[in-house]
């Protein structure tokens, strides 16, 4: 049964339509939601709801918010090109520092104790720099070029003792909190090699815990990611100083680390929720890919984490064997495992929800890895149907879908059901595509293909599945109430994906 939509929320969310079916419990944001309705009468509902709880919002401040597009961080590690998030995310700089510190060591040849020690020391140093240097580059001078340079990493590496832990020995910290399911991540590679690493968050569990009446929108509590009090840990135990102090119009530091990796024969996309531990989870995942692991093995890797303060190495349950834990403690590391906790203050037995996908370019194979720790999330490779020599993907994108060739050119139409009458309405036409060359245009309604009536999207899909590569189609259209016929030539050659 389709859930009923409160009319006051319909300005922001509507049920998703997939072909002729409206999907229950799934909603998409309307175009108006991108501005969150600040210029409409309903905008007052959000402002009133926040002010009723003691918040201080103004319509002027919210309408002035703009999304900033920033240049990603790029660096190399062991034959891989890495692309990751820039400030005000701290994850990219930290990942660049840690991997470049570790690159000269052949980690695969080391014992588990030696490897864990070196990785932990790299974590410690990256988080120390995170605390002092990172913030919103629109407001503070972040020495990014220095922090991500190989020369700076070499200097940090020189301070790592191969057999001893380096005491953080600065300020006391707080206990690592239990994991909250408050952040999500998805990793995608499509048939044309396009890729997405998307991490989004409301910060803590249910964000601020407030849905302003009349909006249907859960408000975040990202303010906790500011250094609200200099040198005092936040909910994730990480500290900050002046660089991440709150200021009007300033964006707070985050730990999100959506990342691309590309080598000669492989592409990988990865990321995870997990607060400050996102950074180290992505680090361990990147090291796993560098070791040659497949996507699912990367998602399942045991996890450990050090964030400079508190000066402790936290591990998942059974992440490290007892003899390795003992050896690390003998080197001076404070190791906190769930098994050791006696006072009720303990790290989670498991944490994170890493989602990753990889592409083996040599064999043109896609594989996925979904974190086995968490039932929320799954990995799937969409099999492209091959019907009489024509590879097609009927992938659905929101309320429309696109016919595409596997690893090659699109027919070039995105379609949806018409609201009145029969046919399939054209939402978009890809420039230079077979549809565009045939003269099909946006808002055309396809009513027949080769004489067969098309009453809806499903009928067009069924017709498409019977087609062969290299054929010529006669497509009947309704354009502005007038009937029109066009000829669509489907290419014979299927090209391979090329990033």
Residue 238 domain flag: no
Collapsing DSSP to helix, strand or coil, 183 comes out as strand
| pLDDT tens digits, one per residue of 22-58 | 444 444 444 444 444 444 445 677 888 888 988 888 8
When comparing pLDDT for 341 and 92, which is higher? Answer: 92
The string of pLDDT tens digits covering residues 324-356 is 999 999 999 999 999 876 544 455 689 999 999
**Does residue 420 share a domain with residue 288?**
no
Neighbours of 323 (CB within 10 A): 10
**Residues 393, 272 share a domain:** no
So what's the pLDDT on residue 385?
Answer: 40
Residue 426: inside a domain, yes or no?
Answer: yes
End position of a domain, from candidates 40, 63, 86:
63
Q: 62-70 contacts: CB < 8 A, separation 24 or more?
A: 62/36, 62/38, 63/35, 63/38, 63/39, 64/249, 68/138, 68/251, 70/137
Nearest to 386 by CA among 313, 461, 466, 294: 466
Residue 36 covered by a domain: yes
What pLDDT score was predicted for residue 173? 35
Q: What is the pLDDT of residue 464?
A: 67
pLDDT in tens, 290-327: 999 999 999 999 999 999 988 999 999 999 999 999 99
Tell me how far apart the alpha carbons of residues 364 and 374 are, in angstroms, rounded to a whole number. Answer: 29
Res 360: pLDDT: 92
For the chain, the straight-line distance linking the first and the last C-alpha, in angstroms and rounded, comes to 42
Query: What does the CA dihedral 304, 306, 312, 315 come to, rounded to 10 degrees?
Result: -10
Is 228 inside a domain boundary? no
Confidence check: pLDDT of 110 > 70 = yes
Residues 477 and 416 in one domain: yes
What pLDDT shows up at residue 244?
A: 84
**Counting every residue, how long is the chain?**
499
**Among candidate residues 322, 346, 370, the one where a domain is terminated:** 370
The span from the CA of 220 to the CA of 237, in Å, is 19
The whole-angstrom separation of Cα 99 and Cα 82 is 10
Phi and psi (nearest 5°) for 324? -70, -40
Instruction: Select from 322, 337, 370 the last residue of a domain.
Output: 370
User: If we measure between CA atoms, which residue out of 342, 309, 339, 279 comes closest to residue 176?
Assistant: 309
| Reported pTM | 0.68
Assigned domain for 5 exists: no
- pLDDT (0 to 100) of residue 213: 81
Q: Residue 479: which domain range?
A: 385-489
Give me the percent of the chain exceeding a pLDDT of 90.
42
Indicate if 267 and 362 belong to the same structural domain.
Answer: yes
Instruction: Give the pLDDT confidence score for residue 400 in this predicted structure.
Output: 29
- Residue 165 and residue 307 in one domain: yes
| DSSP strands (E only) in 34-154 | 73-77, 80-84
Note the pLDDT of residue 235.
54
**Spacing of C-alpha 94 from chain mean position:** 17
Rounded mean pLDDT, 264-284: 95
Which positions ≥6 away from 208 have C-beta within 8 Å? 202, 218, 219, 220, 221
Q: Which positions are catalytic?
A: 183
Q: Tell me what pLDDT residue 215 has.
A: 73
Structure tokens at 380: 């799937």
Per the structure, the count of domains in the chain is: 3
Please indicate, yes or no, whether residues 140 and 86 belong to a single structural domain of this protein.
Answer: yes
Q: Are residues 90 and 174 in the same domain?
A: yes
CA angle 183, 230, 126 (to 5 degrees): 60
Is there a domain that residue 242 lies in? no
Percent of the chain with pLDDT over 70: 75
Question: Which residues sit opposite 148 in a β-bridge?
Answer: none
pLDDT value, residue 396: 32
Is the domain of 32 the same as that of 127?
no
CATH of the domain at 314: 1.10.246.130
351 and 258 within one domain: yes
Examine the domain organization and report whether 284 and 169 are in the same domain.
yes
pLDDT classification of 286: cutoffs 50, 70, 90: very high
Is the pLDDT higher at 28 or at 260? Answer: 260
471 versus 479: which is more confidently predicted? 479
Q: Is the pLDDT of residue 85 over 60?
A: yes
Same-domain check for residues 167 and 304: yes
Q: Is residue 329 part of a domain?
A: yes
Q: What is the pLDDT of residues 229-248, one digit of tens each?
A: 665 665 555 555 678 888 88
CATH number at residue 476: 2.30.42.10
Mean pLDDT across the chain: 79
Q: Which two tokens stand for residue 62?
A: 């919210």
The residue ranking higher by pLDDT, 385 or 130, is 130
- Identify the CA nearest to 444 among candidates 464, 415, 421, 472: 415
Q: Is the domain of 349 the same as that of 406? A: no
Indicate whether 88 belongs to any domain: yes
Q: Which of 200, 73, 185 has the alpha carbon at shortest distance from 137?
A: 73
Given a contact cutoff of 8 angstroms between Cβ atoms, the answer to whether 445 and 426 are in contact is yes
- Of 109 and 378, the structure prediction assigns the larger pLDDT to 109
Q: Does residue 281 have a cis bond before it (omega within 30 degrees)?
A: no
């Amino acid at each position: 049964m389709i859930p009923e939509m409160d009319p006051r929320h319909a300005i922001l969310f509507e049920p998703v339509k997939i072909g002729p079916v409206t999907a229950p419990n799934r909603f998409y944001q309307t175009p108006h939601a991108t501005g969150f309705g600040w210029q409409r009468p309903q905008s007052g509902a959000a402002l009133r709801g926040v002010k009723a709880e003691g918040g201080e919002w103004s319509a002027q401040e919210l309408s002035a918010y703009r999304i900033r597009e920033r240049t990603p961080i790029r660096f190399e590690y062991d034959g891989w090109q890495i692309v990751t998030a820039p400030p005000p995310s701290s994850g990219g700089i930290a990942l660049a520092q840690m991997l470049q510190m570790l690159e000269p060591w052949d980690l695969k040849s080391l014992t588990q104790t030696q490897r864990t020690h070196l990785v932990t020391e790299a974590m410690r140093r990256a988080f120390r720099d995170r605390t002092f240097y990172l913030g919103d580059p629109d407001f503070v001078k972040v020495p990014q070029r220095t922090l991500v340079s190989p020369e700076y990493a070499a200097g940090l590496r020189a301070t790592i003792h191969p057999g001893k832990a380096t005491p953080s020995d600065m300020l006391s910290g707080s206990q690592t909190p239990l994991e909250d399911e408050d952040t999500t991540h998805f990793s995608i590679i499509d048939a044309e090699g396009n890729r997405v690493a998307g991490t989004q968050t409301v910060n803590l569990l249910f964000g601020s815990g407030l849905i302003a009446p009349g909006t249907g929108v859960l408000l975040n509590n990202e303010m906790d990611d500011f250094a609200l009090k200099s040198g005092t840990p936040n909910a994730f135990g990480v500290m900050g100083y002046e660089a991440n102090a709150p200021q009007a119009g300033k964006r707070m530091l985050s730990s999100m680390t959506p990342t691309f990796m590309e080598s000669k024969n492989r592409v990988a996309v990865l990321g995870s929720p997990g607060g400050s531990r996102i950074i180290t989870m992505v680090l361990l995942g990147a090291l796993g890919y560098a070791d040659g692991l497949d996507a699912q093995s990367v998602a399942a890797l045991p996890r450990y984490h050090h964030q400079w303060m508190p000066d402790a190495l936290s591990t998942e349950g059974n992440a490290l064997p007892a003899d390795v834990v003992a050896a690390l403690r003998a080197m001076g590391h404070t190791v906190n495992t769930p098994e050791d906790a006696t006072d009720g203050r303990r790290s989670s037995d498991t944490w994170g929800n890493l989602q990753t996908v990889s592409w083996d370019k040599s064999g043109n194979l896609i594989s996925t890895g979904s974190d086995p720790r968490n039932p929320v999330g799954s990995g799937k490779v969409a099999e492209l149907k091959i019907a009489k020599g024509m590879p097609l993907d009927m992938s659905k994108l929101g309320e429309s879908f696109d016919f595409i060739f596997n690893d090659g050119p699109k027919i070039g139409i995105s379609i949806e059901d018409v609201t009145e009458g029969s046919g399939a309405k054209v939402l978009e036409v890809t420039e230079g595509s077979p549809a565009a060359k045939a003269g099909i245009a946006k808002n055309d309604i396809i009513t027949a293909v080769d004489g067969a009536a098309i009453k809806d999207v499903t009928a067009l899909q069924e017709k498409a599945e019977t087609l062969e590569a290299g054929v010529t189609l006669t497509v009947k259209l309704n354009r502005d109430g007038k009937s029109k016929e066009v000829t669509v030539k489907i290419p014979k050659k299927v090209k391979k994906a090329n990033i």
